[in-house]
Amino acid sequence: MMSLKRVVKMAAVSTALVVAGATPALATVINIGGGTWDYGAGTAVVWSDYYHGSKCHGSTSVGAYIDSDEEAAGGWSITQAEVAASGNESYYRTSC
C-alpha cells in the first residue's frame, strides 16, 4: 500500500504535467474594418472568423493548408487550418 505522502506527491506531479501541457490558444478579438475579427492559433489549428453586418466579407487561415471563406452581410466567415511548424497567418477582408 502506498503511503499518503507518496500519493500526494504523485497527484501534485500529475497536476503539474496537465497544467504545463495545457498550452492556451493565442486568440485575439478586435473590432476592425467595420466588423468583428476573431483570429489566432492554438496547438492544433489557426483560425480566422470575421463578421460584418452590412458588407459581403471573408476570412482566410494559412497553416499546413489554406482555408478561405466568403459570407454575405450579417453572417460569420469562418475558416481554420491545421497549424504548420511556422508561417501560420490569419486574414480578413471587407469585400467578396
Backbone torsion region of residue 32, taken as left when φ is above 0, otherwise alpha when ψ lies between -120 and 50, otherwise beta: beta
Structural domains of the chain ordered from first start? 26-93 (2.60.40.2850)
Q: Tell me: the pLDDT tens digits for 49-91?
A: 999 999 999 999 999 999 999 999 999 999 999 999 999 999 9
- In sign, the C-alpha dihedral spanning 34, 59, 49, 30 is negative
pTM of the shown model: 0.74
Q: pLDDT > 70: what percent of the chain?
A: 75
Q: What is the band of 26 on the pLDDT scale with cuts at 50, 70, 90?
A: confident
Report the C-alpha gap between 69 and 64 in whole angstroms: 17
State yes or no: pLDDT of 6 exceeds 80. Answer: no
